Structure 1
Amino acid sequence: MTMLRSINDIKGYSLKSGGEALGTVSDFNFDDHEWTIRHVVIDTGGWLTGRKVLIPPAEIKKTDWENQDLVVELNKDEVEKSPPLSADEPVSRQYEDRLYSYYGWHPYWVSGIMSGAYTTAVNPSDEEDVRSADEDESQEKPIVRSCKEVIKYRLEGIDGEIGDVEDFIADDQTWQILYLVVSTGRILPGKKVLLAKMWVDRVSWSESKIYVDLTGKKIKESPEFDRSIPVDRDYEERLFEFYGRKGYWL
């Protein structure tokens, strides 16, 4: 059953293969067009010091939410020989090309699968089609962003600053980010609210700010978010009704 989960809560989960721990979740990367998680970022600890390991959600074969384990079918040797990415190095499309080619994963950016769908195992006969589709894309390609970095962004409403982004809420099946968790310290200290990603008007990546087409007064009066209570459809319906917006599920 699909559930909506906090991105921050999944940090620290173990990545395991055949019962062996490969590392722990330290971050997530999402593309800034669809706002879909494209990589789970793994800290491998001491055995691959100074390197990040990226795992697409499609390669997670099982998620044990109770024991906080993500299970994959990769071994340490495969991971160790994968294209290296230093801990402070940004993720470029060139790096993704090398990584996906190494594992034989189907690239998510190929036409037709950008909206959260995932496919694995590219056949050699398909490689020319993949390259052609990639070459035909527009120049405005999505950029992969770190959740850890964007979670620190300021939120701006129609009438000024609202607060700070503290977390994201994502669908645990599609891995699409649906909500921003916002601390409204600029207008009402101590309150946390959810704002749907679809209400984001624009993002200034250079200023580290997210703009929404809502007033501070409206957000101040909105239903409070309690992270100890799961976000269910009842809460979502009340939230969208409060803002007079049509639910994304309709």
Structure 2
Amino acid sequence: MVIDGIWSYSPDSGYAEGQELTGYTVAATDGTIGHVDRQADHFGMRHLVVDTGVWVFGRSVLVPVGVVTGVDTEGRKISLSCTRGEVKAAPRFQTDSETMDAAYLASVGDYYHQLPPRETTST
């Protein structure tokens, strides 16, 4: 199992263990990016697969849960610590089999690790 902050929810994110997030709206610091299509935890690398709809030409993106800054259960919204552009620039997610590819997940984790830290705001 991988022990790495980018793959774990922050204790102050509002996430409750076992919480189902499918369907929640996902918002970057500068706007909405889509909704949670599914959540997974392969190789200890917890992540969300976010359907971006038309924003990124109908493709999905993979987001490590370590960038989640807030989970609003009443509003069914998840806030991220990164911008829309940073999410769009992440290693391209193409197929569901990539969520089972440890090397691909590691490349995504490396990308999000190198992003500049930001102050977090509550949801």
**Which TM-score applies when normalising by structure 2?**
0.69
Unaligned runs of 5+ in 2: 2-14, 116-123
What is the Cα deviation at residue 230 of structure 1?
4.5
SS in 2 for 1:194: strand
Is the counterpart of residue 216 in structure 1 residue 84 in structure 2? yes
SS in 1 for 2:90: coil
Is the counterpart of residue 199 in structure 1 residue 67 in structure 2? yes
Q: Return structure 1 stretches of 4+ with deviation > 3 angstroms.
A: none
RMSD: 2.4
Unaligned runs of 5+ in 1: 3-31, 38-144, 246-250
Percent identity over the alignment is 26
User: Contact (CA 8 Å) 2:42, 2:99: kept in 1 or not?
Assistant: no
SS in 2 for 1:228: helix
User: Contact (CA 8 Å) 1:158, 1:213: kept in 2 or not?
Assistant: yes
1:234 partner letter: A
Which fold has the larger relative contact order, with Cα–Cα distance below 8 Å and residues 6 or more apart in sequence?
2
Partner of 2:108: 239
Whichever of the two has the greater Rg, that structure is 1
Is the counterpart of residue 158 in structure 1 residue 36 in structure 2? no
Mapped to 2, the partners of 1:235 and 1:220 lie a distance apart of 16
SS in 2 for 1:164: strand
Mapped to 1, the partners of 2:42 and 2:104 lie a distance apart of 15
Seen in structure 2, the aligned counterparts of structure 1 residues 211 and 187 have a Cα distance that, compared at 3 Å, is same
Mapped to 2, the partners of 1:230 and 1:160 lie a distance apart of 25
Equivalent residues in 2 for 1:112-151 (5 A)?
145=19, 147=20, 150-151=21-22
